[in-house]
């Protein structure tokens, strides 16, 4: 007998994203940016949750605000961003996050 786990329920439904702020992302090559990802912050970690249940975990340097991937082998590639936002890609996935959402929580 074989058993396995998946992020989706037995019916194949995709679970709702965890609570967090909505951010623009494009998951996979050729996808358009749309506000379907959610952003969670835990200390200096930033977690971007994808609508399919996947996620990216990033470390945020408190001194510079620089983001660095914690998971996987793909590097973060800056794509500039508009005024007041940071845009970047990791592998085939792209993200655009307002800078105000990446500000450290007040102490």
* pLDDT tens string 8-48: 444 556 666 567 899 999 999 999 999 999 999 988 999 99
**Any bridge partners for residue 85, and if so which?**
98
Does the CA dihedral 68-71-77-80 come out positive or negative? negative
In a domain? residue 9: no
Query: Based on the structure, what is the number of domains in the chain?
Result: 1
In a domain? residue 91: yes
Structure tokens at 75: 């590097």
Does 2 have pLDDT greater than 70? no
In a domain? residue 11: no
In a domain? residue 30: yes
| pLDDT at res. 51 | 92
Tell me how far CA of residue 26 lies from CA of 35, 41, 82, 87, 97, in angstroms. Answer: 9, 20, 16, 11, 12
What range defines the domain where residue 48 resides? 21-102
In a domain? residue 44: yes
Whose tokens are 């994808």? That residue is 50
* pLDDT tens string 58-72: 999 988 889 999 987
- What is the C-alpha to C-alpha distance for residues 44 and 30, in angstroms, rounded to an integer? 31
């Amino acid at each position: 007998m074989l058993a396995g786990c998946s992020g989706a329920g037995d019916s194949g439904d995709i679970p709702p994203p965890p609570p967090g702020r909505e951010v623009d992302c494009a998951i996979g090559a050729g996808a358009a940016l749309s506000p379907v990802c959610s952003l969670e912050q835990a200390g200096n970690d930033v977690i971007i949750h994808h609508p399919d249940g996947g996620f990216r975990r990033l470390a945020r340097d408190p001194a510079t605000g620089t983001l660095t991937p914690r998971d996987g082998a793909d590097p973060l590639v800056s794509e500039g961003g508009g005024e007041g936002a940071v845009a970047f890609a990791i592998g085939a996935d792209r993200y655009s996050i307002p800078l105000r959402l990446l500000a450290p929580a007040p102490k």
